Structure 1
């Protein structure tokens, strides 16, 4: 048996209707479009597993996009391109990511019913003037709907390790550890917490 995980990619925009077509918390301040849902059968944990692999992949993708945006030729990356590259990377990887399977885009409740221990959510903020860059991608992980950790890809593994240490040594919960960074100021953390609460009741 492996450690199962799912990976979702979504793009957030200022709210223009009550909820996403796929459902979601009514209290959300953003509207989300979901592009990709992938099931992975093995190595779903964060450190040394899917989480760390995703953080490295997203960091490189963001850096490549930022470099491209600074060049004379402007071809803006969008969330669809990120999804295509991620799927290609999953199916091309033979060492870590084993047995990927695309999951049909359905309601959030149905997608989260897929057997998993960890859910990874990639959230992008697309700007039509610059596309996606290293400042517009967030990575979150949810462990059996029990906690949510959100960070920029370059900080993700370090922050996860710190939180695990705080929980083990100081007996703190994720909710008791202060983020004090951009995930709070830009509303990413509160939005993810709303999603987890929504999934717990649906």
Structure 2
């Protein structure tokens, strides 16, 4: 029950020149990311059952269906973020909007689970919204919302095997590879691993380098 969760909404565009996100991120990234929303909750951040992951999948699938069935509608990341906030505020989750801050500060003490909703406005509709899941400070899955739970179950099954598969050994589908998410996820994982644990005791800030 006491599993924390963080939901982030961001939009990506192909990087031009050396422009990088104001929030930071991997310098090697091929994309520029604009961040819209950060929502934190202390409980039910897990994927399965009544967890945040399943709730987000249902929300995003409904959102995509509404777009697809309304010819006058189009994908707008700001509208997606506003709709998400409204749904959170009327849900049973004890969710709180938190200020947009640098990724290094956001992940100094990472939540148990983080979900990143990424939009690509110039992509094909089916691939225009992707959902990524992080356990701690590592991305373990990126998929279309409609494929997410099935692929998570596949990942979870592999992790229960004696010979666990690493992130880079699991096939998450052509849309993830061809749309550049797989390589971007690996860069993001490396970036997160380099962020030290940071906390303050009696006004003294302490940084602890990760050793794994």
Q: What TM-score, normalized to structure 1? A: 0.88
Pairing partner for 2:80 from 66, 79, 82 = 82
Distance in 1 (CA, whole Å) between partners of 2:57 and 2:140 is: 16
What per-residue deviation string (whole Å, max 9, x for no partner) do you get for residues 37-62 of structure 1?
01011110111110011011101101
What per-residue deviation string (whole Å, max 9, x for no partner) do you get for residues 53-102 of structure 1?
1011101101111111xx3xx242300000000011011012xxx21111
Pairing partner for 2:136 from 129, 132, 144 = 144
The residue that corresponds to 2:47 in the other structure is 46
Please report how far the alpha carbon of residue 193 of structure 1 lies from its aligned counterpart in structure 2 after TM superposition: 1.9
Distance in 1 (CA, whole Å) between partners of 2:149 and 2:58 is: 9
Please report how far the alpha carbon of residue 21 of structure 1 lies from its aligned counterpart in structure 2 after TM superposition: 1.1
Residues 110-129 of structure 1 mapped to structure 2, 5 A cutoff: 110-113=105-108, 116-127=111-122
What per-residue deviation string (whole Å, max 9, x for no partner) do you get for residues 160-193 of structure 1?
0011111212432232222342101110121122
Pairing partner for 1:157 from 114, 124, 149 = 149
Please report how far the alpha carbon of residue 135 of structure 1 lies from its aligned counterpart in structure 2 after TM superposition: 3.2
The residue that corresponds to 1:199 in the other structure is 192
Please report how far the alpha carbon of residue 106 of structure 1 lies from its aligned counterpart in structure 2 after TM superposition: 1.2
Distance in 2 (CA, whole Å) between partners of 1:185 and 1:199 is: 23
- Larger strand proportion of the pair: 2
How many residues end up aligned between the 2 structures?
192
The residue that corresponds to 1:6 in the other structure is 6
The residue that corresponds to 2:19 in the other structure is 18
Larger radius of gyration: 2
Runs of 4+ off more than 4 Å: 131-134
Structure 2 residue matching 1:28: 3-state secondary structure:
coil
Q: What TM-score, normalized to structure 2? A: 0.84
Distance in 1 (CA, whole Å) between partners of 2:151 and 2:194 is: 28
Distance in 2 (CA, whole Å) between partners of 1:195 and 1:126 is: 21
The question of 1:57 aligning with 2:59 is answered yes
- Give 5+ residue unaligned stretches, structure 1: none
Cα RMSD, aligned residues only: 1.8
Please report how far the alpha carbon of residue 18 of structure 1 lies from its aligned counterpart in structure 2 after TM superposition: 3.4
The farther-off stretch of 83-92 and 144-153 is 144-153
Please report how far the alpha carbon of residue 133 of structure 1 lies from its aligned counterpart in structure 2 after TM superposition: 4.5
The residue that corresponds to 2:28 in the other structure is 27
